[in-house]
Structure 1
Amino acid sequence: MALPKKLKLMDLFNNGTSYLGQTGEVTIPKLVRKLEDWRGGGMNGNVKVDLGLGDDTTEFNWKLGGIDQLILEQWGAQTVDAHMLRFAGSYQRDDTGETSAVEIVVRGRHEEIDFGNQKQGDDTETSVKTIWSYYKLTIDGKVIVEIDIPNMIEIVNGVDLMAKHRANIGH
């Protein structure tokens, strides 16, 4: 029997600024494929054809205690990769003590800043939805997934899934 690796410590960095002790929650982006049904002539059933990344893939949601001026200063960024967020997590198995470093880096801009309810004496937090155009997931120093949407790059376990497509269109 083995126990799972569970998140023990984390930090979130916004353009290099640490939110240690301020980050309430981070929702790691889902990895989603857009699969469409295809049933061609002579097929006795359908298959799902892979059309690339899913539409909801690019959301990175996070929460901070209180209010943060840096986020507000970043509002209305002009480019799709204006700001870098870096999630650093330390996961541990409680049966062996083994730890793993997990890092997720995204570049994007904030679509939504929600201040929630503000009431004196109550806990307040700011929720932010950042839409990314670049994503990289690294576990124990090994890049597992790297996606750069504007540059048509999608690397999974060292294989660039878009390389042949880029070559086919002359890039």
Structure 2
Amino acid sequence: MSVQVNKVYNANVYLDGTLNLIGRASEVALPDLALNLEGHKALGMFGEIQIPTRLNAMKCTIKWTGFYAEHLRAGANPFKAHNLQVRSSLETWTAQGRTREVPVVWHMTASWNTVKLGTLKAGDVADFGGDELRVTQVKVLHDGATVCEIDVFNNIWNVNGEDILARSRANMGI
């Protein structure tokens, strides 16, 4: 069996589908899919198990390379959601070298929780820290195919084409 290594070395951020933010973000921390778990133990069970009850709130952090008025305009209104897209190229490496490159794209609907106005120091480049955004929808595409889609407001959770909340929605009459 041959070893296969997948690497992402670069990405670009887009805001609201049109604003190309090339070179403006130095780091993006994508949302974690973290579950809230409830412990269950009962008579006759040797141990305790944990049962997922819901998805915890998702967040994203973007560290900017400088001051850009567009980010402040977007982030200063906490009541407006924005569409973010992070596009990258996934390289696959094997013993034969780089054998494949495909796009990996993260689509998110998010609103700003924290807008870093910056830290200014004499003689140093200003630091604009990392803005924190609350994410209500995320969709991950690998080579054009949807790997995972979560939309909290619409009660959607699809993984590799499987709607894992379908039975729950039907049971609730949704």
TM-score norm. by structure 1 comes to 0.89
User: Identity percentage over the alignment?
Assistant: 25
Rounded to whole Å, the distance in 1 between the matches of 2:46 and 2:10 is 50
Matched, 1:61 2:61: yes
Is the 1:63–1:125 contact (alpha carbons within 8 Å) kept by the matching residues of 2?
no
Deviations 1:74-108 (A, max 9, x none): 222425xx101100011213433121311101102
2:117 and 2:47 map into 1 onto residues whose CA distance is: 49
Unaligned 5+ runs, structure 1 = none
Count how many residue pairs are aligned between Structure 1 and Structure 2.
167
User: Out of 97, 110, 113, which is 2:112 matched to?
Assistant: 110
Could you give the per-residue CA deviations for residues 12-66 of structure 1, whole angstroms, max 9, x where no partner exists?
01112111112101112112122221102221111111112134xx111111111
Tell me the amino acid that sits aligned with residue 86 of structure 2: F
Q: Which runs of 5+ in 2 are unaligned?
A: none
1:134 is paired with a residue whose SS is strand
Q: Per the alignment, in what secondary structure is the counterpart of residue 110 of structure 2? A: strand
**TM-score normalised per structure 2:** 0.88
Which deviates further from its counterpart, 150-159 or 120-129?
A: 120-129
Query: Post-superposition, which runs of at least 4 consecutive aligned residues in structure 1 deviate over 6 A?
Result: none
Match of 1:78 in 2: 79
Q: Distance in 2 between matches of 1:91 and 1:123?
A: 31
Distance 1:129 1:142 in 2: 28
Q: Please, which of 144, 147, 151 is the counterpart of residue 147 of structure 2? A: 144
2:3 alignment partner AA: A
